[in-house]
Amino acid sequence: MQTPLPLTRDLVLIGGGHTHALVLHAWAKRPLPGVRVTLINPDPTAPYTGMLPGHIAGHYARAALDIDLVRLARRAGARLILDRATGLDCSAQEITLAARPPIAYDIASLDIGITSALPEIPGYGDYAVSAKPLGAYASAWENWLAAKPDAPKIAIIGTGVAGVELALATAHRLRGQNAQITLVEAARILPHIGHRARDRLRTHLAKAGIVMREGINVVKVTAEGVELADQTLVEAEFVLSAAGARPQGWLRETGLDLTEGFVTVDKYLRAASDPAIFAVGDCAHMAHAPRAKAGVFAVRQAPILYDNLRAALGAGRMRAYQPQRDYLKLVSLGGKSALAEKWGRVLEGGWLWRLKDRIDAQFMNQFRDARPMPATLPPAMAAGVQEMLEDRPLCGGCGAKMGAQSLQAALPKAERSDIETGIGEDAAVLRMGETRQVIATDHLRALSDDPYLMAQIAATHALGDVWAMGARPQSALASVTLPRMAPELQTRSLREVMAGALSILEPAGAALVGGHSSMGAEMQLGFTVTGLLDRAALRKSGAQPGDALILTKPLGTGVVMAAEMQWAAPGETVRRAWAAMVQSQARAAEILTPHAHAMTDVTGFGLAGHLAEMLGECELGVELDLAALPVLDGAEALIAAGYHSSLAPANRAAVAHLIEAPASPRVDLLFDPQTAGGLLAAMPSDSAPRIVENLQAEGYGAAIIGHVIATDAPVIQAS
């Protein structure tokens, strides 16, 4: 049996810029065993700047700009933390984050880009948008287009190549709409390009009807537009800044050696003042070879950074990076035409735009290969092995559970006077004198390599059984299995597990009182939880004919996580699934418990399986409204594309005899195993609409999904 190699070093990539994306792409092909790679980025996607003018002009859809960091991290074997870095403590070797405890590192690399914000200008934060970071700009542009006025007015602050490109792209997008576009520059237009190219671009700006105001400062941005130093007003409903490169402000507090706010790096791309830190792209200043901020340097730094990170982690030798003195500048002209400039020579035409389009496509295609690496199987296997594999990885979360039929066949019945309820309910109810306590346990195979996130999911999932019984969470014991790793990494990982667990348990009122830890082939987390009952326990049985059925969370986490393991789930879809799984059901339970006749939480057996448990052997059925089911964005499309959790077939087989429904992807979602799913409650129909309104006011995606009916035999009818 081959033992997985232990983890000994933490490499943390801060920011999902172009250089880091290319490093992860290379790491996926040739990882360094023993290294745990972490990528920190606030969003699940990173937009590619080279295609931004084409998007503004209308040549590319918004999605075409995005590098999917969730898929890329999965391919590279890296964990992705969706958060924003806010600080760096070099002495403690920790990265401060906006929404969770610090992350430790042995080697860290910065690729956090720049901003074109102008915070010193009054009104800028309220009435303007920055071209960088470009994600917010692209979204603001699309929103503005959807509601733009007739004869729109736009002001663009900054007339470098980026500002001119965006002005021409804007003019192309708004052609024929009597748009008024004004470029404002405190100095001279296009200061970092040759005079021949500058003259050509001036001509294109003039032909597009774009007004240029040079040599004048902006003093204020208002709802009416941009006020200039000469007391004139440039009227504008949309104000954009493309005014140069400004470093991220938090770098000033790191103690790193900076040059005009940018991290000073040596020829190996290491921070001049700390060999454990690297910096690349626009956030870095190359002291040995200063250059203008340009994406071409970020791209060409990637193979050097990849090799140097490996060397810093113990494999190979450092390589020096020497940037070229000049580079080909391809400037989009609005339509499908471009201007090229290098060494003072200028060319332009449609063929150059096609060249740029091809270069951009080649760059983006590196990150769009969604084919999993083929598994290596033995040449001979026992009968049934191939059928069980189905060319799909074993799911994490509740997708890794055993099927209901296997569990029912194996579990014994416990009959004791001090056990009020046992097997078959969400939690056991124990009598201790006048006190009645519920106890339940849940254990999850990791569906993310992020210990903090997994602890949040596992704790939320475990508490679901306590909330479903109408009890108050009381205590929790943790069960933690970590992959084999060095003692320092064990400590770091356990700290993240504990912090993630406490972020869920403490607000719910549960104390983390202990637990057990071990090492194994992969991360697994679980919690045994207790709760106290102030009233009769809510059970799965108890629904009455005419009751409305309320579900508090959307379906689809099983298929989304299954597809994510195969690099097929879009990053934003995965982000939404993670957010749904960590949403506490505490407030939902408080709202539902006083009114519910029956309640359970929807987890591994899927909605259909848990509905079947509620029906039991009673003469009850369910009429489901498929259109009313809350569903995660993208989940239905993934099922239609053929993805499903490894537990879904067993879930379907367990309740197939009860289901009356047409074949459709939405019906397939009834069998999708949920991890940390919503509460499912049966309650009087007359109170259900008000309860749903209260749940929605608390932030839950709750809905009335059907009704309980009287039948001769249990049935689930879906239409």
Ramachandran category for residue 297: left, alpha or beta (phi over 0 → left; psi -120 to 50 → alpha): alpha
CATH code at 153?
Answer: 3.50.50.100
More confident residue, 22 or 618: 22
Q: Judge contact between 329 and 341, C-beta under 8 A.
A: yes
pLDDT in tens, 258-286: 999 999 999 999 999 999 999 999 999 99
Cα–Cα distance measured from residue 414 to residue 422, given in angstroms and rounded to the nearest whole number:
7
What 3-state class would DSSP assign to 626? helix
- Selecting among 90, 283, 395, 398, the annotated active-site residue is 398
Among the listed residues 545, 549, 669, 529, the one whose alpha carbon sits nearest the alpha carbon of residue 609: 669
Q: Can you read off the two tokens belonging to residue 98?
A: 């906006």
Tell me: pLDDT of 626 over 90: yes
Residue 578 has φ and ψ, to the nearest 5°, of -60, -45
Tell me: pLDDT of 1 over 50: no
Q: Are residues 432 and 532 in the same domain?
A: yes
Q: Are residues 34 and 128 in the same domain?
A: no
Among the listed residues 9, 56, 2, the one whose alpha carbon sits nearest the alpha carbon of residue 33: 9
Range of the domain at 449: 426-538
> Which of the residue ranges 74-83, 168-177, 185-194, 358-367 would you say has the lowest mean pLDDT?
185-194
Q: Which of 491, 510, 538 is the last residue of a domain?
A: 538
Cα–Cα distance measured from residue 694 to residue 677, given in angstroms and rounded to the nearest whole number:
19
Strand partners, 155: 182, 239
Q: Are residues 681 and 656 in the same domain?
A: yes
Residue 72 lies in a domain: yes
Cα–Cα distance measured from residue 307 to residue 280, given in angstroms and rounded to the nearest whole number:
14
Q: Are residues 121 and 108 in the same domain?
A: no
**Please, which pLDDT band fits residue 423 given cuts at 50, 70 and 90?**
low
Tell me: pLDDT of 403 over 70: no
**Please, which pLDDT band fits residue 719 given cuts at 50, 70 and 90?**
confident
Tell me: pLDDT of 301 over 60: yes
pLDDT in tens, 708-717: 999 988 889 9
Residue 21 has φ and ψ, to the nearest 5°, of -60, -45
Q: Can you read off the two tokens belonging to residue 640?
A: 């239609």
Q: Are residues 198 and 343 in the same domain?
A: yes
Q: Which of 512, 538, 564 is the last residue of a domain?
A: 538
Proportion of the chain above pLDDT 70, given as a percent: 92
- Could you tell me whether strands 238-241 and 233-235 are parallel, antiparallel, or unpaired per DSSP bridges? unpaired
Q: What is the structure's pLDDT at 616?
A: 82
Residue 206 lies in a domain: yes
Q: Are residues 32 and 176 in the same domain?
A: no
Residue 694 CA, distance from chain mean position: 28
CATH code at 58?
Answer: 3.50.50.60
More confident residue, 395 or 410: 395
First-to-last alpha carbon distance for the chain, in angstroms, is 50
Q: Judge contact between 681 and 599, C-beta under 8 A.
A: yes
Q: Are residues 336 and 312 in the same domain?
A: no
Tell me: pLDDT of 692 over 60: yes
Q: Judge contact between 521 and 44, C-beta under 8 A.
A: no
Residue 45 has φ and ψ, to the nearest 5°, of -130, 155
Cα–Cα distance measured from residue 148 to residue 143, given in angstroms and rounded to the nearest whole number:
9
Residues in the chain: 719
Beta strands in 533-653 (DSSP E): 548-551, 598-601, 620-624
Helix ranges (DSSP H) in 370-450: 385-389, 404-410
pLDDT in tens, 634-651: 999 999 999 999 899 999
Please return the burial class of 3, using the count of CB atoms within 10 Å of its CB with bins 0-12, 13-18 and 19+: exposed
Q: What is the structure's pLDDT at 619?
A: 86
Q: Are residues 431 and 508 in the same domain?
A: yes
**Please, which pLDDT band fits residue 560 given cuts at 50, 70 and 90?**
very high
Residue 505 CA, distance from chain mean position: 23
For residue 63, what is the DSSP state?
G
> Which of the residue ranges 49-53, 292-296, 299-303 would you say has the lowest mean pLDDT?
292-296
Tell me: pLDDT of 210 over 70: yes
Cα–Cα distance measured from residue 358 to residue 73, given in angstroms and rounded to the nearest whole number:
25
Among the listed residues 361, 253, 290, 305, the one whose alpha carbon sits nearest the alpha carbon of residue 111: 305
Q: Are residues 503 and 517 in the same domain?
A: yes
Q: Judge contact between 13 and 38, C-beta under 8 A.
A: yes
Residue 358 lies in a domain: yes
pLDDT in tens, 91-148: 999 999 999 999 999 999 999 988 877 888 999 989 999 988 788 898 899 999 998 8
Q: Are residues 489 and 344 in the same domain?
A: no
What is the average pLDDT across 564-572? 91
Tell me: pLDDT of 466 over 50: yes
Whether residue 44 has a cis bond before it, omega within 30° of 0: no
The residues, ordered by sequence, that sit 6+ positions from 38 with a Cβ below 8 Å of its Cβ are: 10, 11, 12, 13, 78, 79, 80, 81, 103, 105
Q: What is the structure's pLDDT at 427?
A: 77
HEC profile for 219-257? Answer: EEEECCEEEECCCCEEECCEEEECCCCECCHHHHHCCCC
CATH code at 476?
Answer: 3.30.1330.10
Q: Which residue shows structure tokens 């029956």?
A: 598
Q: Which of 299, 324, 349 is the last residue of a domain?
A: 324
Q: Judge contact between 34 and 8, C-beta under 8 A.
A: yes
Tell me: pLDDT of 369 over 90: no
Cα–Cα distance measured from residue 583 to residue 190, given in angstroms and rounded to the nearest whole number:
49
For residue 485, what is the DSSP state?
B
- Could you tell me whether strands 620-624 and 703-710 are parallel, antiparallel, or unpaired per DSSP bridges? antiparallel
What is the average pLDDT across 292-308? 88
Residue 636 has φ and ψ, to the nearest 5°, of -65, -40
Q: Judge contact between 226 and 157, C-beta under 8 A.
A: yes
Q: Judge contact between 585 and 461, C-beta under 8 A.
A: no
**Please, which pLDDT band fits residue 422 given cuts at 50, 70 and 90?**
low
Tell me: pLDDT of 407 over 50: no
Angle at 85 between CA 267 and CA 83, to 5 degrees: 130
Kindly report the average pLDDT of the chain as a whole number.
90
Residue 125 has φ and ψ, to the nearest 5°, of -65, -25
Cα–Cα distance measured from residue 205 to residue 208, given in angstroms and rounded to the nearest whole number:
5
pLDDT in tens, 651-685: 999 999 999 999 999 999 999 999 999 999 999 99
Residue 19 lies in a domain: yes
How many domains does the chain fold into? 4
Q: Are residues 319 and 456 in the same domain?
A: no
Q: What is the structure's pLDDT at 417?
A: 62
Q: Judge contact between 668 and 583, C-beta under 8 A.
A: no
398 is catalytic: yes
Q: Can you read off the two tokens belonging to residue 622?
A: 């369910």
Tell me: pLDDT of 594 over 50: yes
* Identity at 62, one-letter amino acid code: R
pLDDT in tens, 171-204: 999 999 999 999 998 888 888 788 999 999 999 9
Contacts 24+ apart (CB under 8 A), 234-237: 234/155, 234/182, 234/184, 235/153, 235/180, 236/153, 236/154, 236/155, 236/182, 237/144, 237/148, 237/149, 237/152, 237/153, 237/154
Among the listed residues 506, 510, 433, the one whose alpha carbon sits nearest the alpha carbon of residue 471: 510
What is the average pLDDT across 472-486? 96
CATH code at 643?
Answer: 3.90.650.10
For residue 373, what is the DSSP state?
P
pLDDT in tens, 515-528: 999 999 899 999 99
What is the average pLDDT across 478-485? 95
Tell me: pLDDT of 454 over 90: yes
Q: Does the CA dihedral 149-153-159-161 come out positive or negative?
A: positive
Residue 123 lies in a domain: yes
Residue 419 lies in a domain: no
Q: Are residues 628 and 617 in the same domain?
A: yes
Looking at the chain, the number of H-run helices and the number of E-run strands are 21, 38
Residue 398 lies in a domain: no
Residue 302 lies in a domain: yes
Q: Does the CA dihedral 194-196-199-201 come out positive or negative?
A: negative
